[in-house]
Amino acid sequence: MLYTIGLALHILSAIAVFASLALDWLATAGLRRAERLQDARPWVWVLQVSAAFGPWARFAVLGFGLFLAFDAWSWQGWIIVALASWVALVLVSEGAFTGRTLRQMVALVNTEEADAAPFASQVRVPRMWALVLTRLGLAVGLVGDMTLKPSLVIGAIMVLVGAGVGLALSQLRLDTRRRTALVEATTRG
């Protein structure tokens, strides 16, 4: 009975993690399109909401996951991959979405007047888009690892492929934007 409750809470915590990742994705995409300060304010607010519950959800996933591992007295390969992936997810998450970058964005959007050039460069942080998609790929790989419960090597490959696909997609998107800007500049000039 206790194991079933722990499993349900672990799954609910994982859903909350994905909700946080989805909010980060939507907000980062919205910030990339924001042209004016008032366009960015709601997206920075969404990042703040995600930052308020995202870290707690990640720690809840860890806590209930450890409970399940200890309850079953099992440290199979997929569990070790899940723990290492959790650490990677936390490390990739904390810097940009709850740290200094977010505090700077909040300060910027709370000002009355903002210069267009610094504003655009401060809310369109390319690494945030790369982090969003890498984290999403990592999390999808992690869910695959936990669902299929493969060996250590297969689980690690699944998670690394997921993170790699997310990073590759973010770079593809950035390259497309750079090419479009180059074409527009050439046509104007």
Task: Give the whole-angstrom CA distance, residue 5 versus residue 2.
Answer: 5
Helix/strand/coil for 108 = helix
Helix/strand/coil for 113 = coil
pLDDT digits (tens, 9 = 90+) for 76-96: 899 999 999 999 988 887 666
Task: Give the whole-angstrom CA distance, residue 75 versus residue 87.
Answer: 16
| pLDDT higher than 80, residue 159 | yes
| Residue 2: how many other CB atoms lie within 10 Å | 8
Q: What is the pTM of this model?
A: 0.81
Average pLDDT rounded to a whole number, residues 127-148:
90
**Residue-averaged pLDDT of the chain:** 83
Token pair of 133, please? 């998609």
pLDDT computed for residue 127 by the predictor: 78
101 vs 26 pLDDT, higher one: 26
C-alpha to C-alpha distances, 150 to 21, 31, 99, nearest whole angstrom? 25, 38, 34
pLDDT computed for residue 96 by the predictor: 60
| pLDDT higher than 70, residue 164 | yes
22 vs 119 pLDDT, higher one: 22
pLDDT digits (tens, 9 = 90+) for 107-124: 778 776 655 556 666 666
111 phi/psi in degrees, rounded to 5? -80, 155
pLDDT computed for residue 36 by the predictor: 78
